[in-house]
Chain A
Amino acid sequence: MEVDIGIQVQDLNAWFGNTQALHGINLQIPAKQTTAIIGPSGCGKSTFVRCLNRMHETLPQARVTGHVQISDLDVYGRGVSPVWIRRRVGMVFQKPNPFPTMNIYDNVAAGLKLNGLGSRRQMDEVVEKSLRSAALWDEVKDILKKKSGASLSGGQQQRLCIARALAVEPDVLLMDEPASALDPISTSKIEDLIFELKARYTVVIVTHNMQQAARVAEFTAFFLMGNLVEFDKTETMFTKPSDKRTEDYITGRFG
């Protein structure tokens, strides 16, 4: 495949206590493209993306081995702080999780403010730019400092969370089933957004919705029971899968 590599994953293993959730994953995720991670529940999709920004290790008894390289950044390198990694690798979660005590403006600015970055003047620009990128600006520009992030609708909250992640200007955006808690209209807005974002970011999206993978992603990886079964262009994957198990899953024979 003739594309730049955004994320290089080598021999990645992950555990919860004694249960191994990921088995020796090797994967090269293309830069400035959208890659979908699909697979049945419990196959390790979420665990995989949470290993890319070192969120996995925040859970009790969680452990990771292996190598992840994001451009010049050795994610599991000696002396590398997970905090640095997470500033470069943004994450959007399954359930919208705006900070309940902050207004809309502060929600977007949180990543910079709480890290002591950016001046006040810059902040206004960053907030506007991020909200525009998340296609939320027009809906909230008049209530930025008046309303709590939690007062928005579910779909708006999720776009707010995307804006919040974009505000720290990451290289990579991880999305863990970002639309699974949303109605169809909000979902399609998020999908349009993902389509625009890939011009500037390497996007990795976990989804259990195969139509969604087909709609938004150039590349797709199929996970099964903690193993990477197949990785290919989405089109190839959905028309001519090379592995029998992928075909069975895509055609709905299990999962």
Chain B
Amino acid sequence: MPKKQLQTIPWWRRAKNFAAIGSIGLATVIVILPLVLILGTVLYKGIGSLDWNLFTQIPKPAGELGGGMANGIAGSVMILMIASIIGIPLGIGSGVFLAEYGRNIYGNIVRFTADVLNGVPSIVIGLTAYALVVVVQGHFSLLAGGIALGIMMIPTVSRTTEEVLLMVPQTIREAALGLGIPHWRTTLSVVLPSARSGIITSIMLAFARIAGETAPLMFTAFGNQFWSTKLNQPTAALPLQIFTYAVSGFEDQRRQAWAGAFVLIVMIVGTVLIVRFITSRGALKGAN
């Protein structure tokens, strides 16, 4: 058999290849650039502005130097905990319903509602919590802030949980049903564990999204110059504090706003990393 000469790739194909890969690369850079700029600025300005007082002191009256955001950090942690207690179970529950029992008119109603809720501006959700909780209670409160953010979590967790569950192969469900395991048991002990890492991702995405929300807290948690972690009292929150200080006329408050933004980002990223670390241990190797 005659040896076939290996053909070299013609120049125009190389050029096309270069142009295609180049434009994809450029698009990637353009997408990532804003993120890098934001993170870079916050890191640069934030780390430079950090001091211990931020974590140990409550705000000083306007014009006085010093003070910190200890009450805002604590308030944010409390609000996010309440939001998670409300948002995660309801989100996962409705996601499971949609994926496993929702191939019907009821499922479509829930699906449509969740999508609409997902698109509702956060300030409107804040107003709703104001009308339902603040007006009824008669004053702003930590609880109202937690409820507002919790409501925001539900549609994100719900719809992504549904998608992740639908990605679990049908054959796995059939295997369980074929053993005489009831549908609810199959869902709980076979399907949900198989989708665990996806569901955790969806929770983390929703968590990261609400953790930085400011608008819904303005007329629910409201903010507080003093230390308070009581459920029924107005409470300081990190995003609120950052918002107030960022537009302040005082140089020292603007400095603290940068530091607060940095702390907020570290809190979010830290939570996500810690949850990932904890949940990745103990899982079977080769399971995914």
Contacts and interface: CB of A to CB of B under 8 A. Distances in A.
Nearest to B285: A148
Given A114-B181, A114-B189, A150-B287, A101 B196 contact: yes
B180 A86 contact: yes
Interface stretch (A11-19, A30-38, A90-98, A193-201): A90-98
B28 interface: no
What band does the interface of chain B fall in when counting residues whose beta carbon is under 8 Å from A?
20 to 34
Interface stretch (B52-60, B147-155, B171-179): B171-179
Interface in B154-205: 169, 171-172, 174-182, 185-186, 189-190, 193-194, 196
A98 B174 CA distance: 11
Interface string A67-93: 000000000000000011111101101
Contact of B182 (A83, A98, A164): A83
B288 interface: yes
Given A100-B287, A148-B287, A84 B174 contact: no
A168 interface: yes
A99 interface: yes
A110 B194 contact: no
B284 interface: yes
A148 B178 contact: no
B171 A95 contact: yes
A97 B177 contact: no
Contacts of B174: 55, 58, 91, 93, 97
Given A86-B177, A103-B284, A168-B179, A97 B171 contact: yes
Interface string B76-111: 000000000000000000000000000100000000
Interface residues of A, number: 33
Interface string A97-123: 111111100000011001100000000
B61 interface: no
Interface in B262-288: 283-288
B287 A115 contact: no
Contact of B181 (A58, A111, A147, A151): A111
Given A97-B169, A102-B284, A147-B286, A161 B180 contact: no
A165 interface: yes
Contacts of B175: 93, 97-99, 161, 164
Nearest 6 CB-CB pairings of A with B: A87-B180, A111-B179, A86-B180, A91-B178, A151-B286, A97-B171
19 contacts: A55-B174, A83-B181, A83-B182, A90-B178, A97-B171, A97-B175, A98-B175, A100-B194, A103-B284, A110-B179, A110-B190, A111-B181, A115-B179, A115-B180, A115-B181, A151-B286, A161-B175, A164-B175, A165-B179
Interface of B: 103, 169, 171-172, 174-182, 185-186, 189-190, 193-194, 196, 283-288
